Chain A
Amino acid sequence: DAGVIQSPRHEVTEMGQEVTLRCKPISGHNSLFWYRQTMMRGLELLIYFNNNVPIDDSGMPEDRFSAKMPNASFSTLKIQPSEPRDSAVYFCASRPQDNQPQHFGDGTRLSIL
């Protein structure tokens, strides 16, 4: 059973560039979550989708951040333009149904120079 798959695993880019992070949830899971993890703030929920529909994006830090889920097997998190303070590990997680635990991917380590 393949887990949540994220790509790329590492991304290093210069300030001002567009960054796109990708996620393939576990097949059959109907909810998908994007998190950001830093030493200072721990794990923070950015946005989550239920049945491909964005439900709560209150954690998205700024308009520079956007997320889409065009179908049940794919989601993207885009940062445009990127800034050094966006450097963090970004995790995607999926869940089969309400009140079931979330399963995480191995994250994308993002460095903005």
Chain B
Amino acid sequence: QKEVEQDPGPLSVPEGAIVSLNCTYSNSAFQYFMWYRQYSRKGPELLMYTYSSGNKEDGRFTAQVDKSSKYISLFIRDSQPSDSATYLCAMTPPRGGNMLTFGGGTRLMVKP
């Protein structure tokens, strides 16, 4: 079993829909959580970075962390065709844990 599980998709939604992307993890040492967006033939781009359980909002994006359930989510409101990309979750333990553990990525397609 992988340390971080992420549904590979593809997830296809109509423009304007609310999108929910999720990751589960097994290592309770993970304390820092990130979401990256990766367009085709580009590098991963940091979207959200959070430490605490609960919600963190940035524009149309909301990151949610539930450490008790070892479950993180990324919500995208009013999805746009430009949101079509692969979304990768990543996580790491606290200080001294330099290496990110990535999920396999979920491919999202937002159709006009």
Contacts and interface: CB of A to CB of B under 8 A. Distances in A.
Interface of A: 4, 31, 42-43, 45, 48, 50, 55-56, 91, 93, 98-99, 101-107, 109
Nearest to B36: A104
- Secondary structure at the B interface, as helix, strand, loop or mixed, is loop
Given A43-B88, A104-B44, A109-B41, A56 B98 contact: yes
A51 to B, nearest CB: 12
Nearest to B8: A42
Q: Which one of A42, A55, A101 has the greatest number of beta carbons of chain B within 10 Å? A: A101
A55 B96 CA distance: 11
A98 B102 contact: no
Given A4-B43, A43-B88, A99 B105 contact: no
25 contacts: A31-B98, A42-B103, A43-B88, A43-B102, A45-B99, A45-B100, A48-B99, A50-B98, A55-B98, A56-B98, A56-B99, A91-B44, A98-B96, A99-B92, A99-B95, A101-B34, A102-B100, A103-B46, A104-B36, A104-B45, A105-B43, A106-B43, A107-B42, A107-B43, A109-B41
Interface string B69-92: 000000000000000000010001
Contacts of A91: 43-44
